[in-house]
Amino acid sequence: MDISIHATSDECDRLAVSILGCPVKPTPVQGASSYTVSAIDTDQAPKVVQFRSKKLDVDLIELARQSYGDFVPKSKFYTTMSGDVYVYVWDLVPGTAFCRVRRQLFAPDIAMEQHLYQIVCDFARFFASAWNNRLAVKQPPGLLDEYYDILDQVSKGLPERLQTKLDEVRRGLPLLFRPDYPMSFQHDDLLENNIHVDNITGHITGIVDWSDAMIAPFGVSLSGLETILGIQTRTSWHLHPNHLGLRERFWDIFYREIGNISEEDRRSIQAARLFGLFRAHGFEEKDKAIVYLETLCLL
């Protein structure tokens, strides 16, 4: 959180109290450029107040709700504080950020694994909802060329085994720009702190922080699946021991939710996922990038 040069947390807290009408506290997980508080008694006020150093496009948040429904909390702009701090009121997303319960969920325990299966199922439904609720969004100009450029940059210094996979992805890019393949509104930061879960049932309760959302060919953000199947460290990516079973469940639910599609669409979805992985992890320090990409792209 870095809005301190614009406003103090005390100033923010006082405004939040006046908005919610009750005492407030900081939420357990804070963003890099925002400060968020909730009511101490969330039954009294099931909302959060967020203070941001950059303005949100609430129309884009509404697009996200049209695509993903209740996975996305409702938001409205409230006011601007002095110092250009933008104030928003959101519906409270219940549950806990995945980052706070992941180690518990990854423990060798049958009940925890069942919770993880539930999270995977809900995540599949989250992605499927964007396929089923297609929006009339325009393709950003020059996007295919931008994707080729990304792969060209990432390819430098990769070992042959990853070059082969990257070349496969490069050949598949035109599939993502077919007239009948959907462009969709997608979260571009599906990290463990942005996925909230009920730690009793395992259900996903919401996906937060849509400030960096993008319009892209469907499936580019599927790289975010790895967030709930493994733990990224500074030197490696440690997959859950049963990640193959969890992965299979994800795809079973996903394809069941979207119904019958062509083999070309299936190839397109997988090409988009792989491109998303190269895009997300290919710009790490080269040794790290190779380790991450070998773990995630060569399954």
Q: Give the pLDDT confidence score for residue 241 in this predicted structure.
A: 95
Q: Which two tokens stand for residue 280?
A: 């997300």
Residue 159: other Cβ atoms inside 10 A:
10
Q: Give the pLDDT confidence score for residue 250 in this predicted structure.
A: 99
Q: Does residue 296 contact residue 237 with C-beta atoms inside 8 Å?
A: yes
Type of residue at 171: R
Q: Give the pLDDT confidence score for residue 5 in this predicted structure.
A: 55
Taking phi over 0 as left and psi of -120 to 50 as alpha, with beta for the rest, 224 belongs to: alpha
CATH 3.30.200 positions along the chain are 9-91
Q: How far is CA 293 from CA 144, 164, 194, in A?
A: 22, 12, 22
Q: Position of tokens 């009750």?
A: 22
Q: Position of tokens 């390819």?
A: 155
**From CA 90, how far away is CA 47, in angstroms rounded?**
6
Q: Give the pLDDT confidence score for residue 2 in this predicted structure.
A: 57
Q: How far is CA 27 from CA 59, 176, 197, 207, in A?
A: 25, 39, 15, 15
Q: Give the pLDDT confidence score for residue 277 in this predicted structure.
A: 98
Q: Give the pLDDT confidence score for residue 18 in this predicted structure.
A: 97
CATH 3.90.1200 positions along the chain are 96-297
Return the closest-CA partner of residue 203 out of 131, 110, 124: 124
The domain made up of 96-297 has a fold known as Aminoglycoside 3'-phosphotransferase; Chain: A, domain 2 (3.90.1200)
Residue length of the chain? 299
Q: What is the pLDDT along the chain (299 residues), one digit of tens a residue?
A: 555 556 789 999 999 999 999 999 999 999 888 999 999 998 888 999 999 989 998 888 999 999 999 999 999 999 999 888 999 999 999 999 999 999 999 999 999 999 999 999 999 999 999 999 999 888 999 999 999 999 999 999 999 999 999 999 999 999 999 999 999 999 999 999 999 999 899 999 999 999 889 999 999 999 999 999 999 998 899 999 999 999 999 999 999 999 999 999 999 999 999 999 999 999 999 899 999 999 999 98
Is it true that domain 9-91 has CATH number 3.30.200? yes
